Structure 1
Amino acid sequence: MEKAAFAGGCFWCMVKPFVEWDGIHKVTSGYMGGHIINPTYEDVKKGTSGHLEVVEIEFDSAIFSYEKLLDIYWMQIDPTDAFGQFQDRGDSYTTAIFTYTEEQKRIAEASKEKLAESGRFDKPIVTIIRDAQNFYPAENYHQDYYKKEPDHYKEDRATSGRDEFITTHWEK
């Protein structure tokens, strides 16, 4: 089993795109990249902990490759926005790929370069690639939010601008 971690704005919207594939064993919402131990949602939301909202994915690379995870990741975010994602603004909502191994780092950098050269976006790709740090699972009510609160999840997603962005840039 391997792990991958991606920051893509609000973690509620980053679970469902990954969870429904064979080879994906677990997707956990949480926090990574900051400077305090055991941050809470309130710590992260205030922007003082340095953490980003992330999803940590446990996957079987023999069934589902890291490259495929990256393909899904890029299609969920605006990689040209350095100040947050869609309606969620601030450092805790910025994008990042957290790599657990040198191989993941190499693959992530190649994937980012390929996306930059594709001409799909008219602005530079600003998503950063960082070494993975301690992962702190988010509070239980954040886990599988799309299942626990489907109406609120759909409403939040519908008003965020994420789906329109995905349609415009990926469904051409």
Structure 2
Amino acid sequence: MERAIFAGGCFWCMVQPFDTQPGIYSVTSGYTGGHTVNPTYEEVCTKETGHTEAIEIIFDENVISYPELLAIYWQQTDPTDAFGQFQDRGDSYRPVIYYLSEEQKEQAEISKQALAESGRFDQPIVTTIEAAHPFYPAEMYHQDYYKKNPENYARNHALRAAFLAGKW
């Protein structure tokens, strides 16, 4: 099994698009990129921990490749917004691809460049590609949110879906 870590706004909206793919063993909501060990949701919300809300994906590379995960990732975010995603604002919601190997870094850079050259966006692609930091799973009530709270998930996801429909 391989790992991938992506941040793209509220982690609630990032889980479902990956969770439903073949070859995905698990998708965990959590926090990464900051300086606080084992942060809580409340601590991350203070914007003082340096963490982003992110997802950790455990996947079978023989079934779904890292470049395929990157393609799904780009379709979930506004890569032109460095200050959050959709209604979620601030550093904890910034879009980041966290790489766990040089190969992942190279693949992420290639996919970012391809997106920039695609003409889909009229602004620069500002999603950062950063070395992975420790990943801390979020509290249990955040896990599988889209399954536990389908109505609230649908409301949160609607703004993303409207924006992204025009780009993909």
Corresponding letter in the other structure for 1:27: V
Say whether the 8 Å CA contact 2:13–2:156 is kept in structure 1.
no
Corresponding letter in the other structure for 2:23: G
Give the structure-1-normalised TM-score. 0.96
1:12-36, Cα deviation, whole Å (9 max, x unpaired): 0000000111110000000000001
Partner of 1:34: 34
Say whether the 8 Å CA contact 2:28–2:143 is kept in structure 1.
yes
Say whether the 8 Å CA contact 2:5–2:56 is kept in structure 1.
yes
Structure 2: gaps (5+ residues): none
Matches for 1:36-51 after TM superposition, within 5 Å: 36-51=36-51
The alpha carbon displacement at 1:133 in A equals 0.8
The alpha carbon displacement at 1:153 in A equals 1.2
Instruction: Give RMSD over aligned pairs.
Output: 0.6
Aligned length: 168
Q: In the aligned structure 2, how far is the partner of 1:166 from the partner of 1:153?
A: 16
Give the structure-2-normalised TM-score. 0.98
Q: In the aligned structure 2, how far is the partner of 1:156 from the partner of 1:76?
A: 13
Structure 1: gaps (5+ residues): none
Indicate which of 161, 164, 167 corresponds to 2:165.
Answer: 167
1:77-120, Cα deviation, whole Å (9 max, x unpaired): 00000110000000000000000010000000000011011111
Partner of 1:131: 131
Q: In the aligned structure 2, how far is the partner of 1:156 from the partner of 1:119?
A: 27
Secondary structure of the residue aligned to 1:169 is: coil
**Percent of aligned positions that are identical:** 62
Q: In the aligned structure 1, how far is the partner of 2:79 from the partner of 2:57?
A: 20
